[in-house]
Amino acid sequence: MHVFISYAHDDLDFAQNVRHELERRRIPVWIDELTPAGDDWRQDIEEALRRADAVVLILTPDAMDSQYVTYEWAFALGAEIAVVPLLRKKTAVHPRIDRLQHLDFTSTKNRPWDDLAERLTAIQEQRTPVSAGNLEESLRSRQGETRDAAIRLLRKLTDRAALPLVEQLLFPENHGVRYTSDVRKAAVDALGNMGETALRPLLHTLVHADKSIRFIAASKLAALGDAAVPDLLMLLDSPDIDARLRATWILGEIGSPAAVDALALKLNDKDSQPTYRKRICDGAADALIAIGTPDALRQAAAYWEGQLASKRKHWSKDHDMRLSDYAAQRLLDINTPESRKALEKWRRDQDKEPA
């Protein structure tokens, strides 16, 4: 949304005051003082008017005598753009303007700024009605408020009949179509609202090109709980390394004992590329800790105990520590008799090493 301010240049000070009050209320404004010198004023004016949700017309004798102001309000009415007159100074007005409800700003006190803002907001809402029927078109709108309203509707979708549309937003068949990151994020939220029906699309979204979308999809799959476990177990063998890592994390978040055996196999992963193999193994061990059953903790403890002898640094950029120190921290997190015993032995061995 933006509001076009139409005024005579002798009334510039008041026009700037209007702009300030509207922008203070977070209503974007277009005013022709922003037009670079030398530009074709009519082309700029028409473009700004076409994109406006409303025109605020400052009524003064100078404005009513101005051919430019007349051109602006006449263009707006012809284009069915709402015109909101502000009476700044008493003046005779054109009959087409006279029939419009104006706001009285002739007094310097108690000016109805809030009334003006409320009227403009109401106009904007009337101009941007969004429904499921025009949702896709509204999401591509150049009108920011229309697009925002469509995103809010998309985020709340629960109707499973809308599933094809939501998938199309995430993976457009027409590669020339581009949706904003906010649209894609709202689409994943909608998939989460649809429950198990959206399981397969959510799994597909784990390999989306947008990393933030993959992260949201992972959290939605975790929220599905046990219903997602069988498909996630299959994903552990995906050729896509990132999908495999996210499936490992999700299984840990779900905490299903049904995933223990498959995750334990990944502690000795041989299928991944060497660059990612350690991440797969560590991720599986951490998922087992998150599941927390005795068998899961035993498997994880055995894995991390095996890492205590390593002299390498941990692979993650987030950890400026040796892998052995990281393994010791994970054993401390496991906190079983076996993990504590392994940790105590490692510490004794550390103390024996020459400084």
Neighbours of 136 (CB within 10 A): 16
Is 8 a member of any domain? yes
Within 8 A by CB and 6+ apart from 278, the residues are 315
Give the Cα separation of 60 and 92 in Å (integer).
9
Domain with 170, as residue range(s), is 130-205
Is 351 a member of any domain? yes
Highest mean pLDDT range out of 11-25, 118-132, 136-150?
A: 11-25
Residues 319 and 274 placed together within one structural domain of the fold:
yes
Instruction: Categorize the per-residue pLDDT at 140 as very low, low, confident or very high, splitting at 50, 70 and 90.
Output: confident
For 47-56, what is each residue's pLDDT tens digit? 899 989 899 9
Overall domain count for the chain: 3
Predicted local distance difference test score (pLDDT) of residue 320: 55
Residues 120 and 135 placed together within one structural domain of the fold:
no
Predicted local distance difference test score (pLDDT) of residue 278: 84
Residues 72 and 36 placed together within one structural domain of the fold:
yes
Question: Final residue of a domain: which of 69, 103, 127?
Answer: 127
Residue 294 scores a pLDDT above 70: yes
Q: What is the pTM of this model?
A: 0.62
Residue 313 scores a pLDDT above 60: no
Predicted local distance difference test score (pLDDT) of residue 128: 60
Is 53 a member of any domain? yes
Residue 35 scores a pLDDT above 70: no
For 221-263, what is each residue's pLDDT tens digit? 999 999 999 999 999 998 888 899 999 999 999 999 999 999 9
Residues 61 and 175 placed together within one structural domain of the fold:
no
What is the CATH classification number for the domain harbouring 64? 3.40.50.10140
Residues 187 and 141 placed together within one structural domain of the fold:
yes
For 323-351, what is each residue's pLDDT tens digit? 788 889 889 999 999 899 988 988 888 77
What is the CATH classification number for the domain harbouring 169? 1.25.10
Residues 232 and 350 placed together within one structural domain of the fold:
yes
Question: Final residue of a domain: which of 63, 93, 127?
Answer: 127
CB crowding 8-45: b at 16 or more within 10 Å, else e: beebeebbebbbebbeeeebebbbbeeeeeeeeeeeeb
Is 218 a member of any domain? no
Give the Cα separation of 248 and 281 in Å (integer).
10
Residues 229 and 351 placed together within one structural domain of the fold:
yes
Predicted local distance difference test score (pLDDT) of residue 353: 64
Residues 231 and 340 placed together within one structural domain of the fold:
yes
Give the Cα separation of 112 and 108 in Å (integer).
10
Residue 319 scores a pLDDT above 70: no
Is 211 a member of any domain? no
Q: In what order do the strands lie in the sheet with 54-59?
A: 29-30, 3-6, 54-59, 82-87, 103-104
Residues 32 and 142 placed together within one structural domain of the fold:
no
Give the Cα separation of 328 and 31 in Å (integer).
64
Residues 34 and 115 placed together within one structural domain of the fold:
yes
Question: Final residue of a domain: which of 127, 161, 176?
Answer: 127
Residues 236 and 351 placed together within one structural domain of the fold:
yes
- Among 242, 241, 257, smallest CA distance to 291 is for 257
Predicted local distance difference test score (pLDDT) of residue 178: 80
Predicted local distance difference test score (pLDDT) of residue 42: 75
Predicted local distance difference test score (pLDDT) of residue 274: 73
| Mean pLDDT over each residue of the chain, to the nearest integer | 88
Predicted local distance difference test score (pLDDT) of residue 127: 66
Within 8 A by CB and 6+ apart from 135, the residues are 150, 153, 154, 162, 165
Residues 9 and 75 placed together within one structural domain of the fold:
yes
Predicted local distance difference test score (pLDDT) of residue 350: 79
Q: Phi-psi bin for 238: left (phi > 0), alpha (psi -120 to 50), beta?
A: beta
Is 52 a member of any domain? yes
What is the CATH classification number for the domain harbouring 345? 1.25.10.10
For 200-209, what is each residue's pLDDT tens digit? 999 999 999 8
Is 212 a member of any domain? no
Is 187 a member of any domain? yes
- Of 21 and 314, more confident: 21
